[in-house]
């Protein structure tokens, strides 16, 4: 009875000698170098897997947030289009909608396509007619004016164009841009194109290359005249205080319109784009999780080899009074140490890269003399990274869990090793 109690006291859970032996096994000697190499690759695999997962998820979140901000900053959260008859009563409809709770702006717009040209180049553009007061409330435009000003936008014959369009046509604020619309005046010879020069009043840059290269803002009365619209508008762009609750605004906006209208929200207008982003994000998570899984399997193989190599040591420890639990905990600590240190190192590396990802991109672009993140291809002018701490925590917990699970079988085999057989075969 006393001997049993003595053994229990000597082998209490996570006793100092268990940590000592685990640390010694991690520092393999020369003849055990191969085991050390496997442990090193396991550590690198878990570190790279966790870091890559954190970086990729942060970049995907950054893409979604930046694109959502850019798209919803320029286009309405809810598009009100006319049914049965043209939207000639747009002033009253916009006024009623703008008075609803949660509605930030109801802006009548006239949309049309045209060819923009200068003495140097030409490009197809989307012309959007808006009132000056509405355009000034669009912070994505009003707060990103790079040249010129929006003052007196309704009064003159000026237009506002994107930075990339200005660069493509070699134009600056104060220069003249010529717009060509396919449908102009009706003559006995047929419909002729409408060609009209406009002064560039301002140049904006919102950071989304597709918009910066294709949008031209024109005063609403001028756009109505330019596109042969008498007193009507194309639609009313409605901006809400919370785009995620757009369904809650549908009924109230329909009632406030007071006429037959057709509503299209931002999710319907961009469903294909954002669904593709979500699918890509989920697939990347699954693929990169395999890196962590492979690293965890390396821990299994490394520990099994270590158990086989240390069979005589295990037998001697058992004969000296170490319990099966002690032996199991020794190898649990050995394998878990690789997983914990690898996960924490990967976490810090991933966070460090996410916080400095744009600087790293610029450095790599300068070093390789290539464009690693083309704005024309990726829509954005900078590489975004938005860290979601909930996702990051889930990645860390997943890596730790896989690491701990990987140690169970080798540790169980070590604890089940028969001391007599181990000594006999040694």
Which pLDDT belongs to residue 421? 59
CA distance 198 to 123: 15
One domain, residues 56 and 124:
no
Given a cut of 80, is residue 307 above it in pLDDT?
no
pLDDT value at position 310?
66
User: For 7-28, what is each residue's pLDDT tens digit?
Assistant: 444 455 666 756 666 666 666 5
287 & 419 share domain? yes
pLDDT band at 110 (very low <50, low <70, confident <90, very high): very high
Q: Report the pLDDT value the prediction gives residue 367, as an integer from 0 to 100.
A: 80
Indicate if 312 and 413 belong to the same structural domain. Answer: yes
Identify any residues that bridge with 5 across adjacent strands, giving them in sequence order.
none
Coil, helix or strand for 101? coil
100 plus 225 within the same structural domain: yes
pLDDT at position 350 over 60: yes
Predicted local confidence at residue 161, as pLDDT = 92
Q: Tokens standing for 216? A: 């031209």
State residue 7's pLDDT score: 45
Residue 194 is encoded by which pair of tokens? 């409408």
Kindly state the average pLDDT of the residues 351-375: 78
Q: Say if 228 falls within a structural domain.
A: yes
Q: Round to whole Å and give the CA distance between 391 and 351.
A: 12
Q: Which residue, 325, 416, 316, 328, is CA-closest to 8?
A: 325
pLDDT score of 35: 56
Residue 275 Cα to chain centre, angstroms: 13
The answer to the question of residue 266 being in a domain is no
pLDDT(5) > 50: no
Report, as an integer, the average pLDDT of 207-219: 86
**Tokens in use for 259?**
């006429």
Domain that holds residue 368: 16-68+274-424
Q: Are residues 127 and 182 in the same domain?
A: yes
User: Could you read off the pLDDT of 308-318 as tens digits, one per residue?
Assistant: 766 666 677 66
| Residue where the block lists tokens 């929200």 | 265
Instruction: Write down which residue in 212, 227, 259 finishes a domain.
Output: 259
Q: Does residue 175 contact residue 121 with C-beta atoms inside 8 Å?
A: no
78 domain residue, yes or no: no
For residues 247 and 119, state if they share a domain: yes
Least confident of 134-138, 251-255, 313-317, 411-415: 313-317
| Mean pLDDT across the chain | 80
Query: pLDDT at position 215, please?
Result: 92
> Does residue 345 have a pLDDT over 80?
yes
pLDDT at residue 111 is higher than 70: yes
Number of Cβ within 10 Å of residue 364's Cβ equals: 12
pLDDT greater than 70 at residue 374: no
* Cβ count within 10 A of residue 26: 18
- Residue 10 covered by a domain: no
The predicted model gives 28-53 an average pLDDT of 72
Task: Using the 3D structure, point to which of 259, 290, 313 is the last residue of a domain.
Answer: 259
Judged against a pLDDT cut of 90, whether residue 292 lies above it is answered with: no
2 or 292: which carries more pLDDT confidence? 292
Residue 6 is assigned to a structural domain of this protein: no
Mean pLDDT value across residues 160-185: 88
Residues 379 and 302 in one domain: yes
**Based on the domain organization, do 312 and 409 belong to the same domain?**
yes
Same domain, yes or no, for 163 and 288? no
Asked if the structure places residue 8 within a domain, the reply is: no
The number of folded domains in the chain is 2
The percent of residues in the chain predicted with pLDDT above 90, rounded, is 12
- DSSP 8-state class, residue 85: S
Q: What is the DSSP letter of 32?
A: G
Phi, psi of 231 (to 5 degrees): -125, 10
Do 130 and 219 fall into the same domain?
yes
Residue 45: inside a domain: yes
Nearest CA to 69 among 208, 235, 246? 208
The yes-or-no verdict on residue 29 having pLDDT over 90 is: no
DSSP of 112-181, one letter per residue? EEEEEE-SS-EEEEEEEEE-HHHHHH-HHHHTTEEEE--TTTTTSSEEEEEHHHHHHHT--TTSEEEEEE
What is the rounded CA–CA span in Å between residue 78 and residue 107?
11
The answer, yes or no, to whether residue 356 has pLDDT greater than 70, is yes
Instruction: Mark which of 227, 259, 291 sits at the end of a domain.
Output: 259
Domain co-membership, 142 together with 240: yes
Round to whole Å and give the CA distance between 95 and 104.
12
Average pLDDT over residues 226-243: 87
Position 80 in a domain: no
* CB-based contact 163:208 (threshold 8 Å): no
Say if residues 334 and 306 touch (Cβ distance below 8 Å).
Answer: yes
pLDDT at residue 256 above 70?
Answer: yes
DSSP per position, 205-258: --SBHHHHTTEEEEEHHHHHHHTT-SS-BSEEEEEES-GGGHHHHHHHHHHHH-
Rounded Cα gap, residues 166 and 212, in angstroms: 9
State pLDDT tens for residues 124-171: 999 999 988 888 888 888 888 888 888 877 766 789 999 999 999 999
Q: Mean pLDDT highest for which of 72-86, 91-105, 401-415? A: 91-105
Is residue 96 domain-shared with residue 210, that is, in the same domain? yes
Q: How far apart are CA 78 and CA 266, in angstroms?
A: 6
């Amino acid at each position: 009875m006393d001997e049993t109690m003595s053994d229990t006291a000597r082998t209490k859970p996570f006793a100092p000698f268990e940590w000592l032996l685990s640390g010694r096994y991690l520092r393999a000697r020369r003849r055990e170098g191969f085991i050390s190499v496997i442990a090193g690759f396991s550590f690198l695999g878990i570190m790279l897997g966790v870091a890559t997962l954190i970086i990729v998820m942060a970049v995907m979140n950054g893409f979604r947030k930046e694109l959502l901000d850019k798209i919803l900053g320029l286009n309405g959260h809810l598009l009100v289009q006319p049914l049965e008859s043209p939207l000639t009563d747009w002033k009253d409809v916009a006024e009623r909608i703008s008075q609803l709770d949660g509605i930030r702006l109801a802006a009548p717009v006239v949309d049309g396509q045209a060819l923009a040209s200068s003495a140097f180049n030409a490009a197809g553009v989307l012309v959007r007619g808006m009132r000056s007061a509405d355009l000034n409330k669009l912070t994505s435009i009003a707060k990103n004016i790079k040249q010129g000003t929006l003052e007196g936008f309704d009064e003159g014959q000026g237009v506002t164009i994107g930075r990339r369009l200005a660069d493509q046509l070699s134009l600056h604020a104060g220069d003249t841009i010529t717009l060509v619309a396919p449908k102009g005046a009706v003559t006995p010879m047929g419909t002729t194109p409408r060609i009209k020069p406009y002064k560039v009043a301002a140049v904006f840059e919102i950071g989304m290359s597709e918009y910066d290269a294709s949008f031209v803002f024109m005063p609403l009365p001028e756009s109505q005249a330019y596109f042969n619209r008498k007193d009507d508008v194309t639609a009313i762009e409605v901006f809400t205080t919370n785009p995620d609750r757009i369904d809650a605004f549908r009924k109230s906006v329909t009632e406030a319109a007071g006429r037959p209208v057709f509503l299209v929200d931002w999710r319907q207008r961009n469903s294909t784009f954002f669904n593709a982003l979500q699918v890509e994000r989920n697939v990347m998570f699954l693929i990169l999780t395999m890196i962590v899984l492979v690293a965890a399997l390396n821990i299994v193989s490394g520990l099994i080899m270590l158990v086989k190599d240390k069979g005589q040591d295990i037998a001697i420890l058992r004969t000296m009074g170490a319990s099966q639990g002690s032996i199991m905990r020794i190898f649990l600590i050995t394998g878990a140490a690789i997983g914990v240190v690898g996960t924490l190192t990967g976490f810090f590396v991933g966070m460090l890269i996410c916080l400095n990802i744009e600087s790293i991109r610029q450095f790599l672009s300068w070093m390789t003399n290539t464009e690693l993140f083309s704005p024309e291809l990726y829509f954005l002018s900078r590489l975004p990274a938005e860290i979601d701490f909930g996702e990051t925590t889930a990645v860390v917990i997943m890596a730790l869990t896989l690491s701990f699970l990987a140690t169970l079988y080798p540790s169980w085999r070590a604890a089940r090793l028969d001391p007599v057989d181990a000594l006999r075969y040694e």
